[in-house]
Amino acid sequence: MKEYIMKSRIKFEKKVTKFFLKLTLAVFFSLVCCGTMGMTAFADKSDFKIDAEMMPSGIYTYDVRLTVENTGKDWEGTVRVTVDSSYSAYYNDCAYDTVISLPQGSTKQFVIRIPIPRDGTNSMSRTGDGVKVTLIDGNSNVAAERIFKQLLNSGVDALTMGILSDDYSSLTYMDMGGQKLYYYSDDYPIRLVELNQDNLPDSLDSLTFLVIDRYNTGVLTDDEISAIEDWTDDGGILVIGTGSYAEDTLSGLDYLGIECREVYEKGVNVNKWNSVSDYVDWSQLNMANIVDTSGRYYTYSQSLAMTRDKIDGAVAVLPYSLSELGALSASDYSDYVTQSDFVYVILDDSSSNANSRYGNSYSSGYDSSYMTRRMLSALGNSNNILNFGVLKFIVIVYVILVGPVFYLILRALKKRDLYWAVVPAAALVGIVLVFFAGRGFEVVSTRVYSVTVCNLSDRKDCRTYLHCFDAGHREWSLRLAEGYEYAGPQTSYGVSDDDEYYYRIRKEGDRLFFGIRPTTSFEDGYFCAGRTADARTEGGRIESDLSSMKFTVLSVTNDTNYDFDYFAVVEGDSVRVFRNLAAGETSSLNKKEEVFVSALGGYYYYDYMYDAREAVKAEEMDIMAALGIGISSAYSQLNGNGIAIIGLTTDWDKTVDDGCSEVSYGCLYMIQSQ
């Protein structure tokens, strides 16, 4: 019996072994076949050659030139460009599509414009993300694909900092020991370059930062000083250390508008700085009493850096010497700050006002993106409180009548046998009445609310912000008017599902389309779009008459072709709003009634919409939101001084050349600096 059981067991084990052997062979051959198929697909993709390069770009877009060559058979489809976010999928939700036809042996070259993250635009998370180019045929099949790493920052893998000093070795800690600086939507290490008077002019173009410390700038020639100033204007970030070397270091830099009145020795008058910043034991440093004679600088409390914008770049002057700072011990810093951490703070504060860093001037820490997004989301909400009074009345009357009331009436008439006929008839009448009463609330097409903001001082600085929604739970797309050259998402929506991107920007010929793939009905889409110039504002200006005693607006002249329904005057940290300023009219503000006055104080100045809600009718809140977008754009460029005049007109051309319901506003503004 045992022998029989053993033989049976051996036979069973052999069968199991054969089964798993066959299964393994089947899996192996399946993988080989799949690999062959994959190789075939890859071979098909080799029929296309894809190349991409960065073009010189403006402050609004990254311009990517694509070259697509077809070495196979005739092909028609879409070239899709997406920014592959390694940082957050929340930004990977927009596809930039271009419809092309590629006959066999042909090559097509075209430019894709991706909006730079500015005023809240969320086209990408950071510039170090890869740009993916995908060729998709009419059946949604991928014909070819290629990812370009570090394309948007032109392959830059580090920020170059030039050190102009008589003691270079004392400043090598400025590279933060390899710690990365968040700059222009990505993290970069700092690479140091030692400079002297001979190599300075030829080195400037390769620098992001220029640090001058413990160096007599008085020996520099006028041409060398001009080269530094031009480099700063073009986006460079100049950091000046002073301290006990203040007189020599500032001697050749009179154009900065900074004077050193006195240098305090270690421990003298130290409370002046200790009361502001506790990051460093300031008693261990010689501190310079530097004074802003230009009235253009803003002081950051933690680093004590006096900073200002300089066209596209920035200047920062420190009351201490960076070489002396480098000699401090770890115990001279606060418990929660290391030397590298503090250098990060210095560089972060020093570059905060530079266009070269953010693609947008920030006004003393003011972030216009929050205000823009907040106003854009409020736009289009003035009429969202629908009057359902008639519908309620019909429903209530029906509910009351259809039951006991009809029964009592029919019983009194001795017609109770008609009850079962009257009730359905009443229901039918009720449905018809509700249908016709509710027609006024139906959204029959995509609704668009747009605000075009133009800086009349620079007519290339024009952008359109759009808030859109549709009643249906379906993908929609709209064509922009002629002349628009780029478009993108204004806010990030969420995680994309595979390659089903939420936001869609498509180009056919010379026209742009924008749209969304909603997940629910009435889902909002927020966009920005722009053109390089706006002919509608050609020649127009807004003039202001200023007090000779104080930089205060006395009157405003509307020298444009548009009547302003409202206009705002921004002075310092306050905004005054007035009604009605016709084209060609001059208005004396002391004789004109203010709609309201709002303090812009605070990082996001919540008061504006609150004050507007109290001052105007509910149906005018859309206008206030549109004006708020213009105020935000203008305020971000004041840089802490000057005035801005913003005019709002409802008589503006449509921005969408397609079937939709659009309400369009125009915001025109000018900046007048002190």
Percentage of residues of the chain with pLDDT beyond 90: 37
Query: pLDDT (tens digit, 9 = 90+) per residue, 624-671?
Result: 999 999 988 888 777 556 788 999 999 888 899 988 889 999 999 988
Residue 131 has pLDDT above 80, yes or no: yes
* Per-residue CA distances from 81 to 129, 135, 217 (Å): 13, 9, 48
* Per-residue CA distances from 98 to 8, 496, 508 (Å): 69, 20, 6
193, 194, 196, 200 alpha-carbon torsion, rounded to 10°: 0
- Is the distance from CB of 529 to CB of 114 less than 8 angstroms? no
> 437 or 563, which is more confident?
563
Lowest mean pLDDT among 126-130, 182-186, 584-588: 126-130
> 29 or 340, which is more confident?
340
The encoded tokens of residue 102 equal 């590629």
What is the structure's pLDDT at 439? Answer: 47
Q: How many CB atoms lie within 10 A of CB 528?
A: 26
Query: pLDDT (tens digit, 9 = 90+) per residue, 208-233?
Result: 999 999 999 999 999 999 999 999 98
The encoded tokens of residue 587 equal 């208005």
CA 73 remoteness from chain centre: 41
Measured CA to CA, the distance from residue 147 to residue 45 in angstroms comes to 14
- Is the distance from CB of 268 to CB of 244 less than 8 angstroms? no
Query: pLDDT (tens digit, 9 = 90+) per residue, 21-55?
Result: 444 445 444 444 444 333 333 334 468 999 998 88
Measured CA to CA, the distance from residue 631 to residue 490 in angstroms comes to 17
What is the structure's pLDDT at 25? Answer: 45
Mean pLDDT of the 231-238 span: 91
Residue 491 has pLDDT above 90, yes or no: no
What is the structure's pLDDT at 460? Answer: 65
What is the structure's pLDDT at 258? Answer: 93
HEC profile of 9-65: HHHHHHHHHHHHHHHHHHHHHHHHHHHHHHHHHHHHHCCEEEEEEECCCCCCEEEEE
Query: pLDDT (tens digit, 9 = 90+) per residue, 413-453?
Result: 777 777 777 777 777 776 776 655 554 445 557 889 999 99
DSSP state of 601: -
Query: pLDDT (tens digit, 9 = 90+) per residue, 517-532?
Result: 888 877 888 999 987 6
Measured CA to CA, the distance from residue 579 to residue 595 in angstroms comes to 7
> 153 or 104, which is more confident?
104
- Residue 17: which pLDDT band, with cuts at 50, 70 and 90? very low
Contacts of 405 (CB under 8 A, 6+ apart): none
The encoded tokens of residue 547 equal 């007090």
What is the structure's pLDDT at 336? Answer: 84
> 184 or 372, which is more confident?
372
What is the structure's pLDDT at 666? Answer: 93
Rg of the chain over Cα atoms, rounded to whole angstroms, equals: 33
Contacts of 437 (CB under 8 A, 6+ apart): 390, 391, 394
Mean pLDDT of the 255-281 span: 85
From the list 194, 199, 190, 209, the residue with the least C-alpha distance to 164 is 194
> 324 or 520, which is more confident?
324
Mean pLDDT of the 488-497 span: 65
Burial of 459: CB neighbours in 10 Å, binned 0-12, 13-18, 19+:
middle
Q: How many alpha carbons lie under 13 Å from residue 254 in its C-beta half-sphere? A: 4
Q: How many CB atoms lie within 10 A of CB 89?
A: 14
Measured CA to CA, the distance from residue 62 to residue 153 in angstroms comes to 9
Residue 3 has pLDDT above 90, yes or no: no
CA 368 remoteness from chain centre: 9
Query: pLDDT (tens digit, 9 = 90+) per residue, 185-205?
Result: 678 899 999 999 999 999 998
**At 541, which helix (H) or strand (E)?**
strand 541-546
Q: How many alpha carbons lie under 13 Å from residue 264 in its C-beta half-sphere? A: 18
Query: pLDDT (tens digit, 9 = 90+) per residue, 135-144?
Result: 999 888 999 9
Across-strand partners of 98? Answer: 79, 507
Query: pLDDT (tens digit, 9 = 90+) per residue, 464-476?
Result: 999 998 877 788 8
Most confident segment among 81-90, 171-180, 368-377: 171-180
Residue 81 has pLDDT above 50, yes or no: yes
- Is the distance from CB of 171 to CB of 165 less than 8 angstroms? yes
- Residue 121: which pLDDT band, with cuts at 50, 70 and 90? low
Q: How many CB atoms lie within 10 A of CB 225?
A: 16
What is the structure's pLDDT at 163? Answer: 96
Burial of 98: CB neighbours in 10 Å, binned 0-12, 13-18, 19+:
buried
Mean pLDDT of the 352-373 span: 60
* Per-residue CA distances from 238 to 226, 248, 318 (Å): 13, 16, 11
The encoded tokens of residue 76 equal 């028609």
Q: How many CB atoms lie within 10 A of CB 466?
A: 26
Most confident segment among 178-187, 380-389, 448-457: 448-457
Contacts of 103 (CB under 8 A, 6+ apart): 70, 74, 75
* Per-residue CA distances from 382 to 119, 377, 450, 469 (Å): 23, 11, 14, 15
β-pairing verdict for 237-241 and 209-212: parallel
Q: At what angle do helices 621-635 and 607-615 cross, to 10 degrees?
A: 150
What is the structure's pLDDT at 12? Answer: 43
Look up tokens 């930089």; give the residue: 551
What is the structure's pLDDT at 361? Answer: 36
What is the structure's pLDDT at 617? Answer: 82
Residue 496 has pLDDT above 80, yes or no: no
Q: What is the DSSP string of 357-386?
A: HHSS--BTTB-HHHHHHHHHHHTT-TT-S-
What is the structure's pLDDT at 59? Answer: 67
- Is the distance from CB of 285 to CB of 242 less than 8 angstroms? no
Mean pLDDT of the 611-631 span: 86
Measured CA to CA, the distance from residue 566 to residue 551 in angstroms comes to 22
CA angle 592–596–597, rounded 5-degree value = 100
pTM: 0.69
Burial of 650: CB neighbours in 10 Å, binned 0-12, 13-18, 19+:
middle
Measured CA to CA, the distance from residue 670 to residue 341 in angstroms comes to 39
Residue 342 has pLDDT above 80, yes or no: yes
What is the structure's pLDDT at 38? Answer: 35
From the list 587, 566, 546, 554, the residue with the least C-alpha distance to 629 is 566
β-pairing verdict for 313-318 and 237-241: parallel
Residue 386 has pLDDT above 50, yes or no: no
What is the structure's pLDDT at 602? Answer: 46
Mean pLDDT of the 125-141 span: 80
> For all residues of the chain together, what is the average pLDDT?
79
Mean pLDDT of the 130-152 span: 87
What is the structure's pLDDT at 398? Answer: 63
Q: What is the DSSP string of 77-114?
A: EEEEEEEE-SS-GGG--EEEEEEEEE-TT-EEEEEEEE
> 125 or 325, which is more confident?
325
- Residue 93: which pLDDT band, with cuts at 50, 70 and 90? confident
β-pairing verdict for 313-318 and 306-310: antiparallel
Mean pLDDT of the 369-386 span: 72
What is the structure's pLDDT at 58? Answer: 66
Measured CA to CA, the distance from residue 487 to residue 480 in angstroms comes to 9
What is the structure's pLDDT at 215? Answer: 96
Measured CA to CA, the distance from residue 225 to residue 270 in angstroms comes to 33
